[in-house]
């Protein structure tokens, strides 16, 4: 989700929903326990993972090494998983933009990913784009990963209350329904760990701080470990 004048959307979301779209850089947090644990040695074959999405993966407003993919990689390695996560998050991406660059992204990977983590749809929601189009684009993305036999974790989003019940009725079911259809692991609401926690959100009231990212990693790392297919052999 690109740094653009969409803050008025974020302000309308309130404590019920925080979604990427605008903001200023947050103060640098203190080193976390996750970073210290990341020094532990790992063994076994390297596990390539592709993080594909918007600014929630790109790490908007954060320093190098503080994005969700970077911190998740550290957490996985702390558990002995020899993970290498390619961060293909692009700030500002809608589901349509993600679909447009999907082939290029997959063809650019040096090896086929064991797992893909997808975070798209937040910008569609912020722009009040048609949920029908959002569903169609996400379904095409999931279908492509399925054709390539790449397991997927789908990071779910929820509609902002100010968009109304009709929009929410059409938007919110997209993630669980597509996850079920394409046998993806679903994180129902990716930003749940930072909701109503101002110290975990950047001054833009939208993006997680580095400490907020760590909270999200802690809440999701088990799903990632479980979703990784067992190494061949």
* Inter-residue contact 202 to 23 (CB < 8 Å): yes
Three-state DSSP state, 113: coil
* DSSP 8-state code for residue 199: G
Report in angstroms the alpha-carbon separations of 123 from 10, 53, 80: 11, 10, 35
Conformation bin of residue 138: beta by default, left when phi > 0, alpha when psi is -120 to 50: alpha
Report in angstroms the alpha-carbon separations of 91 from 10, 51, 150, 168: 16, 13, 24, 24
The structure tokens listed for 55 are: 């600014």
Alpha carbons 123 and 134: distance in angstroms, whole number: 10
Active site residues per annotation: 55, 204, 207
């Amino acid at each position: 989700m690109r740094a653009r004048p969409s803050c008025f959307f974020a302000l309308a979301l309130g404590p019920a929903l925080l979604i990427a779209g605008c903001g200023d850089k947050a103060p640098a947090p203190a080193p976390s326990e996750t970073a210290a644990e990341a020094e532990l040695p790992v063994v076994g074959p390297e596990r390539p993972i592709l993080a594909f999405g918007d600014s929630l993966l790109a790490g908007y407003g954060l320093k190098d090494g503080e994005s969700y993919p970077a911190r998740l990689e550290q957490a996985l390695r702390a558990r002995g998983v020899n993970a290498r996560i390619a961060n293909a998050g692009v700030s500002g991406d809608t589901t349509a933009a993600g679909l447009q660059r999907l082939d290029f992204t997959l063809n650019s990977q040096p090896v086929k990913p064991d797992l893909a983590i997808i975070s798209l749809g937040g910008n569609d929601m912020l722009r009040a784009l048609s949920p029908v189009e959002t569903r169609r684009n996400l379904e095409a993305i999931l279908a492509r990963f399925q054709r390539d036999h790449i397991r997927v974790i789908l990071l779910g989003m929820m509609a902002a209350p100010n968009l109304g019940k009709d929009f929410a009725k059409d938007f919110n079911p997209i993630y669980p329904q597509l996850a079920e259809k394409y046998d993806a692991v679903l994180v129902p609401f990716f930003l749940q760990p930072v909701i109503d926690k101002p110290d975990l959100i950047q001054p833009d009231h939208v993006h997680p701080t580095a400490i907020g990212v760590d909270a999200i990693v802690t809440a999701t790392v088990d799903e990632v470990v479980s979703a990784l297919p067992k190494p061949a052999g």
